[in-house]
Amino acid sequence: MPDKNERPVVRPGMGPGRGGGPMGPMNKEKPKNASGTLKRLLKYIGKSKYLFLSLLIIMLFTTLLSLLAPALQGVAIDTITLKEGDLSIDFKKFILMLFCLGMIYIFSSVFTYLQGICSAKLSQYTVKTMRRDLFGKIERLPISYIDRHSHGDIMSRMTNDVENVSNTISQSVMSLFSGALTILGTIVIMIYYSPLLTLVSFITLPLTLFLTSFMAKHMRKYFLRQQILLGEINGQAEEQITGFKTVVSYGKEKDAVWDFSKKSDELRTYGVKARVMGSIMGPIMNFIGNMGFILIAAAGGLLAWRGAITVGVIQAFLNYSKQFTRPINELANQYTQIMTALAGAERVFAVLDHPDEIDEGKIALENVKGDIEFKNIFFSYVKGEQVLKNFNLSVKHGQKIAIVGATGSGKTTLVNLLTRFYDADEGSITIDGADIKDISKNSLRQAIAVVLQDTVLFSDTIMENIKYGRQDASNDEAVRAAEISNANIFIERMKNGYDTVLDGNGGKLSQGQRQLISIARAVLADPKILILDEATSSVDTRTEMQIQEAMISLMKNRTSLIIAHRLSTIRDADLIVVIDNGEVAEMGNHEELLAKKGCYYMLYQNQFAGIKT
């Protein structure tokens, strides 16, 4: 339990998300209509229509057998009669009823077993479809959505929330159908036996419906909040694991535990409230059901005393009354699970309902030269906080343009805008004279390769990681790309060479080695436009020289935009653009900018002469 007097810390990993955009607070989804969520869930279930139909048929037979058993029990009891003080029994009929009951129970067990198998298959097929749709949706979401939502929370929707839906489908949702069939059949039989006793059994029904509706309204918010907090905790855990070295380096282990414990305590509080309120439903429904049972027994006894019905009918009616209330009680006992699943389903549907990344472009780039022009660009991640202000830049094909400036000046934002991860608020960006908004995003991004400071490698072989740049490339082409980028030097020294399997984003490789593989990937992609975003800022000077050699080969005959903090990497650039506070402050080559003794001069002196700026 954290000390309430301690102050929380900012967790590593918070701040700018992918693409340089600010990661804002997670959205707190508002509860939606439970019935609407259930309908959407049923549509997913209905996609496995043959399996669903088979399950319904099995449930129909199971329900019919369960409805037939009490009637046969009543007939068996009525074979025993009392005449003039003596008991008599129709043994033939009695034995026949017992045999029929035995067969009913055997077939009922078989159908229940088959129902369990079908329910399990249906739940797995359903969540498979849901996970596939969710994953596909994530691939179509705007970059801004990923930037502004905790990755752990998105993962929680894919795992925890969908798993809760799976458990509910295999148990509770099927209880809805089975219960509905049981209630309908029971009502028909009860009316057939005694309309008066049927009315008596319905006395408690309004109270049951009222309490169920009342408690559902007040309980659902706890279950939704519980799922949201679970997503936040997953996001927090992901941040702590990703930034573990930073946490330890700054001695913030206790603060990290405090922060996590605080969120865990809130989850525990809402979890306890949700579970306690959910567990209340079962006892309340059982109590109401028992009261109804007493009323039926009393009324039935009175009718039997008057000779209106037999004892066997009373016994059968009591069983039917239990069957009538059992589905309601079962759903009440499963209410916690149902609410958790609905809350999870809402969170999944919230992602599925988010608009896809808009791609209104129709033009496909062909024979790209690489002329780029930024015209009067204004942009802000957060309304009212301008990142770029009236930015203008013209780049001719084959030019090597360096973009420098202080942190937060807007350098990486240019990458986000050129690749259309974000769209400018005002102004236009053109490639070979065509506005990028008119170019299809797939075509646009195929023409551009981006080498970032933070490399991304996948859990696969080095060969496949290089071929990620162009999936149809041959192994020989991938090896050639590695040779051009100088990555082959360390790859060929490894035991399995290009077949070495990487894991954990290439955690066993150095930062420089990961960067060389990333450059090899870009070489293989053979783009006409190349963006190097702080590609050497995280490596030592010697490794930087190796990467620079690789980049020189990569930049030949390509339009290149180099975003750099280390000014030594961009001395030979055709043009250096200095950005200050979202605007172009200076432009020129290295010697010209030093001679001006402006912003670039101060940045240069700060790096090489130690002058404070």
Q: Which of 326-330, 360-364, 570-574 has the least mean pLDDT?
A: 326-330
Max avg pLDDT among 79-88, 151-160, 430-439? 430-439
pLDDT for position 44: 85
Using the predicted structure, report yes or no on whether residue 131 has a pLDDT greater than 60: yes
pLDDT for position 222: 76
- Give this prediction's pTM: 0.66
Using the predicted structure, report yes or no on whether residue 14 has a pLDDT greater than 70: no
Q: For 552-599, give the DSSP string.
A: HHHHTTSEEEEE-S-GGGGTT-SEEEEEETTEEEEEE-HHHHHHHTSH
Average pLDDT, stretch 17-35?
A: 44
Give the pLDDT confidence of 31-57 residue by residue, as tens digits.
356 778 888 888 888 888 888 888 889
Q: Which residue has the higher pLDDT, 499 or 263?
A: 499
| CA–CA distance, 600 with 504 (Å, rounded to integer) | 38
pLDDT for position 1: 40
**Token duo for residue 280:** 């209340």
| CA–CA distance, 158 with 210 (Å, rounded to integer) | 35
CB 448 within 8 Å of CB 529: yes
In this structure, are strands 529-533 and 559-563 parallel, antiparallel, or unpaired? parallel
* Phi-psi label, residue 371: left if phi above 0, alpha if psi -120 to 50, beta otherwise: beta
Name which of 99, 96, 162 is nearest 129 in CA terms. Answer: 162
Give the pLDDT confidence of 530-541 residue by residue, as tens digits.
888 876 655 556
Place of tokens 């994530």: 138
| CA–CA distance, 2 with 6 (Å, rounded to integer) | 8
Beta bridge partners of 363: 439
Q: Is 541 exposed, middle or buried (0-12, 13-18, 19+ CB in 10 A)?
A: exposed
Using the predicted structure, report yes or no on whether residue 6 has a pLDDT greater than 60: no
**Alpha-helix runs per DSSP H in 306-361:** 311-333, 335-352
CB 481 within 8 Å of CB 520: yes
- CA–CA distances in Å: residue 542 to residues 96, 517, 548, 553: 94, 17, 10, 18
pLDDT for position 103: 93
Torsion of CA 33, 36, 37, 41, to 10 degrees: 170
pLDDT for position 30: 35
Q: Which of 235-244, 266-275, 523-532, 543-552 has the least mean pLDDT?
A: 543-552
Q: Which residue has the higher pLDDT, 27 or 474?
A: 474
Q: Which of 65-69, 127-131, 542-546 has the least mean pLDDT?
A: 542-546
Using the predicted structure, report yes or no on whether residue 143 has a pLDDT greater than 80: yes
Using the predicted structure, report yes or no on whether residue 334 has a pLDDT greater than 80: no
Give the pLDDT confidence of 461-490 residue by residue, as tens digits.
889 989 988 888 899 999 998 888 888 888
pLDDT for position 564: 76
Torsion of CA 341, 347, 349, 354, to 10 degrees: 180
Average pLDDT, stretch 78-107?
A: 81
| Contacts with 441 (C-beta within 8 Å, 6 or more apart), sequence order | 357, 359, 361, 420
When pLDDT is cut at 50, 70 and 90, the band that residue 506 belongs to is: low
Sheet holding 448-452, edge to edge: 448-452, 529-533, 559-563, 400-405, 575-580, 583-588
By residue count, the chain amounts to: 613
- CA–CA distances in Å: residue 241 to residues 12, 18, 504: 9, 18, 12
| CA–CA distance, 384 with 382 (Å, rounded to integer) | 6
| Contacts with 465 (C-beta within 8 Å, 6 or more apart), sequence order | 457, 458, 502, 506, 517, 521
- Determine the residue type at 271: G
Q: Which residue has the higher pLDDT, 544 or 170?
A: 170
Using the predicted structure, report yes or no on whether residue 100 has a pLDDT greater than 60: yes
Average pLDDT, stretch 122-138?
A: 88
| CA–CA distance, 72 with 100 (Å, rounded to integer) | 8
- CA–CA distances in Å: residue 192 to residues 55, 189, 309: 28, 5, 12
The rounded mean pLDDT for the chain is 79
pLDDT for position 22: 40
Name which of 70, 317, 66, 55 is nearest 176 in CA terms. Answer: 55
Q: Which of 264-273, 370-379, 514-523, 559-568 has the least mean pLDDT?
A: 559-568
pLDDT for position 538: 56
Q: What is the largest CA-CA distance in the chain?
A: 127
When pLDDT is cut at 50, 70 and 90, the band that residue 505 belongs to is: low
What Rg, from alpha-carbon coordinates, does the chain have? Answer: 35
Beta bridge partners of 276: none
| CA–CA distance, 597 with 603 (Å, rounded to integer) | 10
- Determine the residue type at 50: Y
When pLDDT is cut at 50, 70 and 90, the band that residue 205 belongs to is: confident
**Token duo for residue 437:** 């908004």
When pLDDT is cut at 50, 70 and 90, the band that residue 428 belongs to is: very high
Q: Which residues of 374-407 are buried (b: 16+ CB within 10 A; e: fewer)?
A: bbebebbbeeeebbbbebebebebbbbbbbbbbe
Give the pLDDT confidence of 101-115 residue by residue, as tens digits.
899 999 999 998 998
**Token duo for residue 428:** 């236009």
Number of helices followed by number of strands (H, E) in the chain: 22, 12
Give the pLDDT confidence of 343-399 residue by residue, as tens digits.
888 888 888 988 888 888 888 888 888 899 999 999 998 887 888 988 898 989 888
When pLDDT is cut at 50, 70 and 90, the band that residue 313 belongs to is: confident
Q: Which residues of 195-228 are buried (b: 16+ CB within 10 A; e: fewer)?
A: eebbebbeebeeebeebbeebbeebbbbbbbbbb
Q: Is 1 exposed, middle or buried (0-12, 13-18, 19+ CB in 10 A)?
A: exposed
